[in-house]
């Protein structure tokens, strides 16, 4: 019995060490590099307005808001076009299958243009409604999006634009909130990665094109949120065009090359470890399952979005794929950890799922995450490790593993509820 108690204490000591290391990794030293999501910004701004046109009669509140209220500010406006929203939208969704030399203005409904030779493909998009405020001579008005566009994949990464039209009949303008984001399967919504990167992405699309009249940055003083500096890109256009959508492909080749480069060092570490002496097919199966499932769900969801009629109903795709992660991961961890020792099951499942998260984010080219998302993922790793440890049947001690399963399942459900309720 003394040996049993010692082993029991050893497992819990390992869990405590795991938590301490995790907290150290996501501590204050890493907060500076983490970005924020729209949902996390909860500040009451100093309400101020800017003139989009010099001596213009309408003014813009250079932010977006979750509700028709200044106190629910989300993200700042970072691009403005001196043109109406219909023209801006038609330009963004232009096909780049034809060369710039074929650009014409005779029949706008049939025009095509290449956007500076880039691989940009803008198309109509879905997203939560956000409002901005416009002050006119007759009073102020809250406006929702005139259009939403994206370049990328709804269930992968994308550049997302919200377009708001304002101005007078003779001086129309379109304010744009541009951001780069990725779909988070455990939050069932998008997490914003960067505003500045999306702003530069829009700028690059217009540099050197024949329909660009002028492009400059003006000081709107709406910085300080995420990586914004308060300078807004202002673009004057000389004509418009139309076109069609295209989708992005995940950049996995670079990731595979990096993983291959590290295989030698990983093999050396494993050969020197105690675990290698009792490594079995059950260890390998559990690890590969945990590591591959998040990335597999990502690929399947993008394929359904791009190749099937379900692309018009992203919520249906989410309803199909989310249960695979929410229920499939813990069920498989418990089942595949059935014949493993408690400590083996915990370590292999947690590390495997951690590698799965890294593969997913690497393929999406995500380099920074909000601190709340990092803490959430660490909680999921702890939960899946406990669930796998609780799946023990064949073990050299008689300590009941039901406690591990119960603790892990409770932690897993709690983490999912935490994310779905909008941390």
At residue 179 the predicted structure's pLDDT band, cuts being 50, 70 and 90, is: very high
At residue 94 the predicted structure's pLDDT band, cuts being 50, 70 and 90, is: low
At residue 21 the predicted structure's pLDDT band, cuts being 50, 70 and 90, is: very low
At residue 29 the predicted structure's pLDDT band, cuts being 50, 70 and 90, is: very low
Same domain, 99 and 208: yes
Lowest mean pLDDT among 45-59, 114-128, 324-338: 114-128
Residue 176: predicted pLDDT: 95
Q: Considering only residues 41 and 373, tell me which one the structure prediction assigns the higher pLDDT.
A: 373
Arithmetic mean of pLDDT, 204-220: 81
Element housing 167 (H / E): strand 157-168
Same domain, 71 and 209: yes
99 contacts 70 by C-beta, under 8 angstroms: no
Domain finish residue from 216, 237, 258: 237
What span, in angstroms and rounded, lies between the C-alpha atoms of 76 and 64? 6
From residue 387, alpha-carbon distances to 14, 283, 338, 400, 402 in Å are 15, 15, 10, 13, 9
Same domain, 28 and 46: no
Same domain, 222 and 321: no
Instruction: Express each pLDDT in 263-322 by its tens digit.
Output: 555 455 555 555 555 677 888 888 999 999 999 999 998 888 888 888 778 888 888 889
Domain finish residue from 182, 204, 237: 237
Lowest mean pLDDT among 86-90, 146-150, 250-254: 250-254
357 contacts 303 by C-beta, under 8 angstroms: no
Q: Which has the closest alpha carbon to 36: 407, 364, 373, 397?
A: 373
Does 104 reside within a domain? yes
Arithmetic mean of pLDDT, 91-116: 41
| Residues, the chain | 423
Residue 112: predicted pLDDT: 35
Domain finish residue from 237, 261, 291: 237
From residue 291, alpha-carbon distances to 29, 285, 356, 360 in Å are 27, 10, 4, 9
Q: Which domain holds residue 21?
A: 2-32+249-420
What span, in angstroms and rounded, lies between the C-alpha atoms of 266 and 286? 18
Q: Which residues pair with 83 in a beta bridge?
A: none
- pLDDT above 70 covers what percent of the chain? 69
Arithmetic mean of pLDDT, 173-201: 91
Does 56 reside within a domain? yes
Arithmetic mean of pLDDT, 50-61: 86
Q: Which has the closest alpha carbon to 352: 320, 380, 317, 311?
A: 380
Residue 402: predicted pLDDT: 66
Same domain, 203 and 254: no
* 3-state percent breakdown (helix, strand, coil) of the chain, nearest 5: 45, 20, 35
Count CB atoms within 10 A of the CB of residue 37: 23
Same domain, 115 and 255: no
404 contacts 342 by C-beta, under 8 angstroms: yes
Q: What value does the mean pLDDT of the chain take?
A: 75
Same domain, 362 and 285: yes
Rg (C-alpha) for the chain, rounded Å, is 25
Residue 260: predicted pLDDT: 52
Classify the phi-psi angles of 50: left when phi > 0, otherwise alpha if psi is within -120 to 50, otherwise beta.
beta
Does 242 reside within a domain? no
Same domain, 167 and 308: no
Same domain, 170 and 298: no
Q: Considering only residues 188 and 9, tell me which one the structure prediction assigns the higher pLDDT.
A: 188
Whether residue 109 has pLDDT greater than 80:
no
∠185-186-187 over CA atoms, to 5°? 95
Count CB atoms within 10 A of the CB of residue 353: 26
Same domain, 11 and 50: no
- pTM (predicted TM-score): 0.64
3-state secondary structure of 372: helix
Does 243 reside within a domain? no
Same domain, 6 and 79: no
Whether residue 194 has pLDDT greater than 80:
yes
At residue 11 the predicted structure's pLDDT band, cuts being 50, 70 and 90, is: low
Does 232 reside within a domain? yes
Does 285 reside within a domain? yes
Same domain, 372 and 285: yes
Please give the tally of structural domains in the chain. Answer: 2
DSSP state of 171: E
Q: Which of 10-14, 93-97, 166-170, 393-397 has the highest mean pLDDT?
A: 166-170
Does 309 reside within a domain? yes
Whether residue 386 has pLDDT greater than 50:
yes
Lowest mean pLDDT among 284-293, 348-357, 361-370: 361-370
């Amino acid at each position: 019995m003394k040996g049993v108690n010692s082993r029991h204490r050893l497992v819990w000591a390992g869990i405590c060490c795991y938590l301490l290391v995790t907290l150290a990794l996501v501590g204050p030293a890493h907060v500076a590099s983490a970005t924020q999501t729209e949902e996390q910004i909860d500040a009451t701004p100093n309400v101020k307005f800017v003139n989009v046109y010099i001596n213009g009669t309408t003014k813009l509140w250079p932010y977006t808001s979750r509700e028709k209220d200044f106190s629910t500010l989300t993200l700042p406006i970072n691009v403005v076009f001196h043109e109406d929203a219909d023209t801006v939208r038609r330009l963004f969704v232009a096909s780049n299958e034809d060369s710039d030399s074929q650009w014409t203005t005779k029949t706008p409904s049939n025009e095509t243009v290449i956007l500076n030779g880039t691989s940009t493909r803008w198309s109509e998009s879905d997203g939560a409604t956000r409002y901005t405020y416009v002050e006119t001579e007759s009073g102020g008005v809250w406006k929702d999006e005139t259009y939403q566009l994206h370049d990328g994949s709804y269930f992968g990464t994308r550049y997302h634009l919200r377009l708001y039209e304002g101005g007078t009949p003779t001086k129309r303008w379109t304010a744009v909130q541009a951001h780069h984001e990725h779909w988070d399967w455990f939050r069932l919504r998008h997490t914003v990665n960067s505003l500045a990167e999306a702003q530069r992405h829009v700028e690059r699309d217009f540099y050197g094109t024949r329909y660009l009249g002028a492009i400059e940055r003006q000081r709107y003083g709406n910085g300080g949120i995420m990586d914004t500096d308060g300078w807004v890109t202002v673009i004057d256009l000389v004509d418009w065009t139309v076109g069609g959508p295209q989708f992005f492909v995940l950049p996995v080749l670079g990731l595979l090359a990096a993983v291959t480069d590290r295989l030698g060092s990983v093999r050396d570490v494993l050969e020197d470890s105690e675990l290698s002496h009792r490594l079995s097919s059950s260890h390998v199966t559990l690890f590969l399952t945990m590591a591959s499932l998040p990335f597999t769900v990502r690929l399947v969801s993008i394929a359904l979005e791009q190749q099937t009629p379900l692309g018009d109903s992203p919520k249906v795709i989410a309803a199909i794929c989310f249960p695979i992660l929410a229920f499939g991961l813990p069920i498989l961890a418990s089942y595949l950890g059935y014949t493993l020792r408690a400590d083996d099951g915990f370590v292999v499942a947690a590390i495997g799922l951690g590698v799965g998260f890294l593969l997913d984010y690497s393929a999406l080219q995500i380099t920074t995450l909000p601190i709340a998302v990092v803490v959430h993922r660490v909680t999921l790793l702890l939960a899946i490790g406990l669930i796998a440890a609780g799946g023990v049947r064949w073990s050299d001690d008689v300590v009941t593993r039901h406690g591990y399963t119960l603790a892990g399942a409770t932690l897993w459900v709690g983490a999912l509820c935490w994310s779905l309720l909008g941390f």
